[in-house]
Amino acid sequence: METLQITRPDDWHIHLRDDDALRTTATHASHYLGRALIMPNLQPPVTTAEAALAYRQRILDNCPAASPFTPLMALYLTDQSSPDEIRQSADSDKIIAAKLYPAGATTHSQSGVKDIQRLYPLFAIMEEVGLVLSIHGEVTDPSVDIFDREKRFIDDHLRAIVDTFPQLRVVLEHITTATAVDFISSARRGVAATITAHHLLLNRNDLFRGGICPHNYCLPLLKREADRCALVNAACAANPRFFYGSDSAPHPRQGKESACGCAGIYTAHAGIELCAEIFSEAETLDRLEGFCSHFGADFYGLPHNTDSITLTASPWSVPDCYEYSHNDLIPFRAGQKVSWKIQEASV
Ligand code: DOR
Ligand code: ZN
């Protein structure tokens, strides 16, 4: 049987939620990840360093005692964010990024930023203190076609941010388009992107396969097959500007299967195995480790994890659902096979 040993992977963009939900999400994530960058879009959002560190402790309280898992935190930027909060966050080695959600762009982004230019003084401080700017890169103008919102964000905002703050480290999160791949590939040093497993595996036809498929609805939306192929090429190219961020985003079943369903796909139960499938299919398994275990840490200026995990090419069936905060959570590939498995996986 084919096996592959890689440095323990990290996930540079994950939603774990809070309270009871952590029993499921933190258990899954800590099962195979060394570190994860935890997104701050709780309700209310994590807008202070103090709140981020308290949230981090609640996550740790839900991880098995022997787990090597280290949550790293991101601050949620709002129109009211202050220089003090940026500096305090940067002072903690446990807070490594500030997240820019354009107001209304996605789940729990109502408190996000309405006027990006007004944050420029904060970006200048982040540049100075070395706090990474993590961006949900979609415009929110309802007149812009929803499939074009990433491209418009790059043109209307990202180019200017990257040019105005030449030392600011910027991550364009969960990219979905060939346009974003091209932008990141040719951007200056210090500009990178995360890519999810679901955007590598699905295209927009998967939203409407035999009817509407709410469990494939996420933001940014799945795009065309040509975009998916551009993402696979970027991820599998051993280009350190592209690294793994799952954007695993749990919602209770009834929140997804609803007249106005929530955006988010849950992959934390099988994130690294899904990546192994993608790299195996592309015949670049030898590059999986760079994408999942090295490039993100290098970008954030952190050491590689020192232990490893072993994957085997042995198919397993994903459960139909997981228990999630007294609700059902329908995971990616529910009831279907994933073709790689972490040895001794037991989620
Ligand atoms: O699909 C998504 N779900 N995209 C996001 O940007 C947020 C996430 C969530 O928090 O549910
Ligand atoms: Zn996200």
Overall average pLDDT of the 273-289 stretch: 98
* Tens digits of residue pLDDT in 202-237: 999 999 999 999 999 999 999 999 999 999 999 999
* Tens digits of residue pLDDT in 65-77: 889 999 999 999 9
What count of other Cβ atoms lies within 10 Å of the Cβ of residue 114? Answer: 12
- Give residue 247 CA to ligand 2 midpoint distance, Å: 4
What φ, ψ does residue 71 adopt, rounded to 5°?
A: -75, 135
- How far is it, in rounded angstroms, from Cα 188 to Cα 176? 20
- Give residue 136 CA to ligand 1 midpoint distance, Å: 9
Provide the pLDDT for residue 107: 87
Inform me whether the pLDDT recorded for 201 exceeds 90: yes
If pLDDT is split at 50, 70 and 90, which confidence band does 1 have? confident
- How far is it, in rounded angstroms, from Cα 230 to Cα 155? 19
Indicate the pTM of the whole model: 0.98
> Sign of the C-alpha dihedral, residues 99, 21, 245, 103?
negative
- The token pair at 299 is 């970008």
223 within 8 A of 149, measured Cβ to Cβ: no
Q: What is the mean pLDDT of the chain?
A: 97
Overall average pLDDT of the 26-32 stretch: 97
342 within 8 A of 3, measured Cβ to Cβ: no
Atom of ligand 1 nearest to the CA of 136: 6
- How far is it, in rounded angstroms, from Cα 38 to Cα 49? 13
- First-to-final CA distance of the chain: 22
107 lines ligand 1 (CB under 6 A): yes
Inform me whether the pLDDT recorded for 345 exceeds 50: no
Provide the pLDDT for residue 344: 67
